[in-house]
Amino acid sequence: MNLKKVNSSMVYAIGYDSKSKTLEVVFRSGKAWGYEEVPKKVYQELLKSESIGSYMRENIIDCYPSYPIRR
């Protein structure tokens, strides 16, 4: 999965696989998480959001099945 660096104090990079609907997020802390069953529209809105961290907290974290990713 290709990751895009983003301008956020909370998130370092984001990637999305449209086939599996998996969102991968690398946080500034160095931890990475995968989120399953994320619609492409949610990924697109995340990238366009004024605050990626706020969008993550309100619309993704605790809203989709997630798992830690070891890097």
Helical spans, DSSP H, in 5-51: 40-48
List the domain range (segments joined by +) for residue 43.
3-69
* Mean pLDDT on 17-21: 97
Calculate the average pLDDT of the chain. Answer: 97
| pLDDT tens sequence across 36-63 | 999 999 999 999 999 999 999 999 999 9
pLDDT classification of 1: cutoffs 50, 70, 90: confident
Q: Give the pLDDT of residue 42.
A: 98
Q: How many domains does the chain have?
A: 1
Share of the chain above pLDDT 70, in %: 100
* 14 class by beta-carbon count within 10 Å (0-12 exposed, 13-18 middle, 19+ buried): buried
